[in-house]
Amino acid sequence: MTQVYTQSHFIIGVDIGGTKIAAGLVDSEGEIKSQARAPMVSDRGAATGLAAVTSAIQLISSGIADKQISIGGIGICAPGPLDPKTGIVVNPPNLPCWRNFPLAEEVGKIYRLPVKIDNDANAAALAEVYWGAGQGYGNVFYATIGTGIGTGIVYDRRIYHGRTGAAGEGGHMSIDYRGPRCGCGKPGCIEALAAGPAIAKRAQTKLTDHGSRSAILDLANGKIADVSSEMVGQAYSAGDCMAKEVLMETVELLSIWLSNVVDMLDPEVVIIGGGVAAMLCPLFDEIRSRLPKYCINSRCQEIPLLKARYGADAGIAGGAALCSTALA
């Protein structure tokens, strides 16, 4: 059976990483109807970088060439710093090909379509509001917890950009100014305390210090240095005590951090996605139950803490959300 597409109800969402690009065809319900991957070429000049992006877009558009559909726009998630208003990619460390590169304009010229760009967490936050766990809410705090912690703020159903588009970097909020230094240089960022590598490190430290038995070590074939956050999650699911200890410490840190966020933003809902979040999902109630202890917001317990709709596809959906006004 041929899938029926109706005119203009589609956006191409593109997610540019340091080494690969994902693109997808997204409908007006936020469904990703098809997707493709292409390598990103980030070290051979601006034009080559652009060609990598268009080749990913081409994979999608060629797949729909024979169907009765038209594309309303292209939305792109790219590494920051970037300027969402002008569509310029400023100078991302992992995309040396682009320095003050007018990505939106260049892609727009090629396809003669509206093109929007933003960073991935901002875009994913918007996708959750339009099509995901944030539907029905206008005022949302979104966090994706994986190797790092990316966050985005949606206010009145629009991304909170701040002055230059650099707002919403809640993953680099320090809750421990004397704590371990984050990759960004600041001590005690929640990313340095509670993202995947920090969870693995915490488990490794406990295994080294206590030398006690734990299912975590079995999963790592006895090699402490090989312990990952995924193994901690697996061991926790299997009832391992040390894994529980590690995750409960993580939960406590995330609770204090979220209390900072809630007291600052008073969102209608908090949405959490990302690989580590999937593992923490059974502990969301635990995090929420700790908020009243730390928030001065007297109604913080009313704020739902929800799992994101989008997982690994968040960048594609997010890209599409940026252009969703172009959806008929």
Among 5, 63, 155, 245, contact with a copy of itself (rule: CB under 8 A): 155
How far, in Å, are 113, 170, 173, 298 from residue 261 at the CA level? 37, 8, 9, 14
Written as six digits, the tokens of 114 are 């509206």
Q: Please, where are the H alpha helices in 187-240?
A: 190-194, 196-210, 215-219, 229-237
Q: Which two tokens stand for residue 213?
A: 């038995």
**Helix or strand or coil: residue 10?**
strand
Q: Which is nearer to a copy of itself, 64 or 140 (CB)?
A: 140
Tell which one of 15, 106, 118, 169 touches a copy of itself (CB under 8 A): 169
C-alpha distances (whole Å) from 185 to each of 25, 119, 144, 174, 205 are 38, 20, 20, 11, 22
Question: Using the rule CB under 8 A, is 163 a contact of a copy of itself?
Answer: yes
**How far, CA to CA in Å, does 183 sit from each of 135, 148, 186, 188?**
33, 10, 8, 10
Interface pick for a copy of itself out of 84, 148, 188, 319 (rule CB under 8 A): 188
Among 172, 202, 206, 309, binds a copy of itself (CB under 8 A): 172
| Three-class DSSP labels, 272-320 | EECHHHHHHHHHHHHHHHHHHHHCCCCCHHHCCEEECCCCCCHHHHHHH
**From 46, 51, 110, 184, residue interacting with a copy of itself (rule: CB under 8 A):** 184
Q: Does 167 bind a copy of itself (CB under 8 A)?
A: yes
Q: Applying CB under 8 A, which of residues 44, 109, 210, 299 lies at the interface with a copy of itself?
A: 299
Query: Applying CB under 8 A, does 251 fall inside the site for a copy of itself?
Result: no
d(CA 75, CA 144): 19
Site string for a copy of itself, 1-40 (x = CB under 8 A): ----------------------------------------
Examine residue 119 and tell whether it contacts a copy of itself (CB under 8 A). Answer: no
Q: In whole angstroms, give the CA distance from residue 49 to residue 108.
A: 15
Task: Assess 161 for contact with a copy of itself (CB under 8 A).
Answer: yes
**294 lines the binding site for a copy of itself (CB under 8 A):** yes
Query: Minimum distance between the CB of residue 260 and a copy of itself, rounded to whole angstroms?
Result: 5
- List contacts with a copy of itself (CB under 8 A): 81, 90-91, 139, 153, 155, 160-170, 172-178, 184-188, 253, 256, 259-261, 263-268, 293-299, 303
